[in-house]
Structure 1
Amino acid sequence: MQKRVLSACCVLLCTIVTAALLLTSSPAFAGEPGALLDILLKKGLISKQEYDELAAGRETAEREEAVASAGTELPDRVKVEGALEGEYRWMRHGGSSAGDSASDLYLRSLELSTGIRLNEWISASSVLISEWIGDELNAGDEMLTVDEAFITLQDEGFPLYLVTGKRTQPFGLFESHLITDPMTQDGYETKRVGLTAGLTGPAGTDLSVTVYKGEEQMNHLFESGLFDTESISRTGGETNDVGSFIVSASASPLEDTLTIFAAYLSEPGSGGRNETLNAGFNLVPPFLESLRLDAEYMKALRRERYDGAGREFREGVISVAAAYELILREREIIGGGLFEERRAHIVSEPLEVSLRYEYFDDGGLTADTGAWSVKYRFSTGARYSFYNDEPSGLIAFAAVEYRHTGTRAAGKNDEFYAKMGINF
Structure 2
Amino acid sequence: MASMKGLFQYSLVSISLLFSAQVLAEDAKNLNDKVNIGGVIEVEANWSSTDYASGGSDDESRAALATVELGVDADISEHVSGHLLFLYEDGDDGVSVDEGYITLDGKDKMPFYLQAGKMAVPFGWFESHFISDPLTLELGETKEDGVTVGYADNGLNISATLFNGDVNERGSDDDHIDGWVLNLSYETDQLGDIGLMGGIAYINNIAESDGLEEQINDPDALLDDYVAGMGMFLGLSFKEALFVKAEYVGALDEFKAGELAFDGGKAYAPKAWNFEAAYNVMDGVELGIKYSKSDEGGDFLAENQWGAVASWEVLPGATLAVEYLRSEYANDDKTDSVTAQLGVAF
State the TM-score, normalized to the length of structure 1.
0.65
Matches within 5 A, 1:308-323: 312-323=267-278
Question: Which residue matches 2:321?
Answer: 399
Question: Which residue matches 1:178?
Answer: 130
**How far off is 1:130 after superposition?**
1.3
Question: Which residue matches 1:422?
Answer: 344
**How far off is 1:411 after superposition?**
2.2
The 1-side partners of 2:282 and 2:117 are apart by: 36
The 1-side partners of 2:254 and 2:57 are apart by: 41
1:74 counterpart SS class: helix
2:95 aligned with 1:161: no
Matches within 5 A, 1:89-108: 89-94=46-51, 100-108=58-66
**How far off is 1:68 after superposition?**
6.9
**Is the Cα contact below 8 Å between 1:215 and 1:238 reproduced in 2?**
no
Question: Which residue matches 1:198?
Answer: 150
Considering fraction of residues, name the structure with more strand. Answer: 2
Runs of 4+ in 1 over 2 A off after TM superposition: 64-72, 95-100, 234-240, 252-256, 306-312, 371-374
Question: Which residue matches 1:302?
Answer: 253
**Is the Cα contact below 8 Å between 2:148 and 2:161 reproduced in 1?**
yes
**Which of these residues, 184, 187, 191, is aligned with residue 139 of structure 2?**
187
1:325-356 Cα deviation digits (max 9, x unpaired): 1346xxxxxxxxxxxxxxxxxxxxx3211111
2:136 counterpart SS class: helix
Taking only the aligned residue pairs, the percentage that are identical comes to: 27
Gaps of 5+ in 1: 1-63, 133-139, 219-233, 329-349, 389-394
Matches within 5 A, 1:7-22: none
Question: Which residue matches 2:33?
Answer: 76
**Which of these residues, 351, 355, 358, is aligned with residue 292 of structure 2?**
358
**How far off is 1:122 after superposition?**
1.2
2:330 aligned with 1:408: yes
1:353-387 Cα deviation digits (max 9, x unpaired): 1111011011xx76xxxx78631000211111111
Question: Which residue matches 2:86?
Answer: 128
2:226 counterpart SS class: strand
**Which of these residues, 355, 370, 387, is aligned with residue 315 of structure 2?**
387
The 1-side partners of 2:202 and 2:187 are apart by: 19
Q: Which has the higher contact order (CA 8 A, sep 6+)?
A: 2
Matches within 5 A, 1:238-253: 239-252=174-187
**How far off is 1:304 after superposition?**
3.1
The 1-side partners of 2:56 and 2:143 are apart by: 37
> Quick one: structure 1 residues 398 and 237, their matched pair in 2 at CA, closer, same or farther if it must change by over 3 Å?
farther
**How far off is 1:166 after superposition?**
1.3
Q: CA RMSD in A?
A: 3.1
> Quick one: structure 1 residues 282 and 409, their matched pair in 2 at CA, closer, same or farther if it must change by over 3 Å?
same
**How far off is 1:142 after superposition?**
5.3
Amino acid at match of 2:278: A
The 2-side partners of 1:241 and 1:194 are apart by: 12
**Is the Cα contact below 8 Å between 1:87 and 1:107 reproduced in 2?**
yes
The 1-side partners of 2:185 and 2:226 are apart by: 25
The 2-side partners of 1:259 and 1:305 are apart by: 35
**Is the Cα contact below 8 Å between 1:214 and 1:238 reproduced in 2?**
no
Gaps of 5+ in 2: 1-20, 208-221
Considering fraction of residues, name the structure with more helix. Answer: 1
**How far off is 1:80 after superposition?**
1.2
**How far off is 1:149 after superposition?**
0.9
- Residues matched between the structures, number: 304
**How far off is 1:252 after superposition?**
2.4
Question: Which residue matches 1:262?
Answer: 200
> Quick one: structure 1 residues 263 and 282, their matched pair in 2 at CA, closer, same or farther if it must change by over 3 Å?
same
The 2-side partners of 1:410 and 1:305 are apart by: 24
**How far off is 1:276 after superposition?**
0.3
> Quick one: structure 1 residues 83 and 412, their matched pair in 2 at CA, closer, same or farther if it must change by over 3 Å?
same
